[in-house]
Structure 1
């Protein structure tokens, strides 16, 4: 069963290889340098796998020949040679099959696209308050400040797409569009999950440590040419902005709410004075959410043994704790603590991200 399953997977990759072989010689592909480079990178990777597959099939053929000799040949010397050869082939096949899950995972076209192309994309970052009431809203603001300082260190730009203020201070929700030369999503993807804070709130008169939590979701930014959404699948609502912007935004219905009917995904945007601009920004977020939703479904359907730190996209998982009394930040996925919480909250988070990258690479 193992061999049959492997052959099926390799055949899928082989078909993909031949499809790309035909595509990269087409004039409209060659003229599109970005598309051509992406396909060429995938072609070279698949070429390597197809070559390995051919060697694997030769081993299987040799095994059949050895079995045939052992069954039908009457020459004892030939049988002994076939017996030794069979044992060697079985060992080679066993070693190969033990490595096959990792090999096929790391080279499947879908995973190749997600792990390589997505890492170089810009990102949509969504912060939402969770348990803890006003303290959670304040922590959203603190984490927002942390990320903004990190963006400045990295030389990235950001724009606020949507913001909902907290009851007293901070934010209930804020969504950012983050862009840079490269590696934006590849670095920020590790931030997806529940961030827990342990500290004494400013409103706490007894000096007791409280625990609050917020949720961070990082999505790869998907362009319009990559994902077409039918307008007939979208319900558009407009309303008056409740955010900043003066009298203009409060007197006109410039804020936009989009609902993608097939998936029930809803996006709001009210940061621009123009309804048209808010619609464009909301569509940008909607594309990213739909893409991420499909990506998460594929990961769940595969049931691959080797799971990435971010592969499940489960935003309910507690990933990190910020302990203010002890001046410590701990990432629970890799059991790594950094005893410089002040520096971390001032945007010095690359060290933790590098540890996460290394851990994912070594899985």
Structure 2
């Protein structure tokens, strides 16, 4: 590991020289590329230099200790060594994590799709609960939420809802939410007081940029139709709703939330690009990577990843065996404890894989 860290520091120093080179400064694209790589390595180099400094101080203190100092100096050295060893232990835990390969999508915005599953109206209501949970979590993080498309039910839920979450690191945290979420509670539509089990699926897609996915206009069939739903002078009168079919894959995206046909098309294309990007990445992963057992955040939509049990007031994440008895807080957007545990479990699994 230390050899890897030294190689990173050497590369960091080389980039520092290149960034200051007049010939590089004259080539803005080249300079930006070097500057970006330099910034990415900076956190690792800072921790490695702190590690070297602490290690050197420990060696110096031990050398002083071997000289058999008087009691007062011995006491001071012992106190400093205790503190330095604690710092070294912390750095020993952090440095391997910094060397793990980065997910190239982590810095991206997120497109989330929630669909009511088994359970009819209750599943649709639960899909609405999940949408509000993620919206409130995004608000806590200072992220922006933009509704892209929805198929709402009359009693306040969603058969499906698609929305964008825009903010620094959105995908790096929300990617663990992909999968099947299950709820156990007495539905508002249940007169006998019986507990029902319903489900909703959540898909988390990194937002694709135009350059990520090449879409040939000839591969698209674009249909317009009258928007349906409650309210609005445009509803059922003007063909503003858009349905885009990607002919090679059969993927269909539709949007009707905006009054402008152009805006609906822009939103639909944004979702289509994200789905095509996710599809291509999944095909590549299936082809080159062996399945990781007990993988955190695998994105398998048939996988039951979490249960929200209202009678017991608990939320259980089945991937890591974590139970939190604060269901109202979690559904109110307090996801920090859950996501921190999932990130830690994922890092541990990846470290194990690297070591093997």
Fold conserved between structures, TM > 0.5: yes
Distance 2:221 2:41 in 1: 40
Structure 1 equivalent of residue 146 of structure 2 = 159
Q: Is this contact kept in 2: 1:196–1:213, CA < 8 A?
A: yes
Deviation readout 1:270-292 (Å, 9 max, x if unpaired) = 11111111111111110100010
Distance 1:128 1:38 in 2: 38
Correspondence 1:199 to 2:185? yes
**Alignment CA distance shift 1:316-1:276 (3 Å):** same
1:287 to 260, 264, 273: 273
Distance 2:218 2:28 in 1: 30
Return 5+ residue gaps in structure 2 as ranges: 1-14, 43-95, 350-356
Structure 2 equivalent of residue 259 of structure 1 = 245
Q: Is this contact kept in 2: 1:243–1:271, CA < 8 A?
A: no
Correspondence 1:275 to 2:261? yes
Cα distance, 1:303 vs structure 2: 3.3
Q: Is this contact kept in 2: 1:190–1:356, CA < 8 A?
A: yes
Structure 2 equivalent of residue 360 of structure 1 = 346
Structure 2 equivalent of residue 325 of structure 1 = 311
Q: Is this contact kept in 1: 2:176–2:299, CA < 8 A?
A: no
Give the secondary-structure state (helix, strand or coil) at the position aligned to 2:233. Answer: helix
1:212 to 190, 198, 209: 198
Q: Where in structure 2 are the equivalents of 1:86-101 lying within 5 Å?
A: none
Give RMSD over aligned pairs.
2.6
Give the secondary-structure state (helix, strand or coil) at the position aligned to 1:309. Answer: coil
Structure 1 equivalent of residue 157 of structure 2 = 170
TM-score by length of 1: 0.69
Q: Is this contact kept in 2: 1:245–1:273, CA < 8 A?
A: no
Distance 1:36 1:165 in 2: 48
Cα distance, 1:305 vs structure 2: 5.6
Structure 2 equivalent of residue 183 of structure 1 = 169
**Alignment CA distance shift 1:236-1:346 (3 Å):** same
Give the secondary-structure state (helix, strand or coil) at the position aligned to 1:242. Answer: coil
Q: Is this contact kept in 2: 1:243–1:270, CA < 8 A?
A: no
Distance 1:345 1:123 in 2: 19
Correspondence 1:30 to 2:30? yes
1:147 to 134, 138, 141: 134
Query: Which has the larger share of helix?
Result: 1
Correspondence 1:135 to 2:126? no
Cα distance, 1:249 vs structure 2: 3.7
Distance 2:34 2:228 in 1: 45
Q: Is this contact kept in 2: 1:255–1:269, CA < 8 A?
A: yes
Give the secondary-structure state (helix, strand or coil) at the position aligned to 2:234. Answer: helix
Distance 2:152 2:312 in 1: 29
Return 5+ residue gaps in structure 1 as ranges: 1-20, 45-101
Distance 2:257 2:133 in 1: 21
TM-score by length of 2: 0.71
Give the secondary-structure state (helix, strand or coil) at the position aligned to 1:334. Answer: coil
Cα distance, 1:153 vs structure 2: 0.7
Distance 2:35 2:219 in 1: 33
Give the secondary-structure state (helix, strand or coil) at the position aligned to 2:138. Answer: helix
Q: Is this contact kept in 1: 2:315–2:323, CA < 8 A?
A: yes
Distance 1:147 1:305 in 2: 28
**Alignment CA distance shift 1:245-1:274 (3 Å):** farther
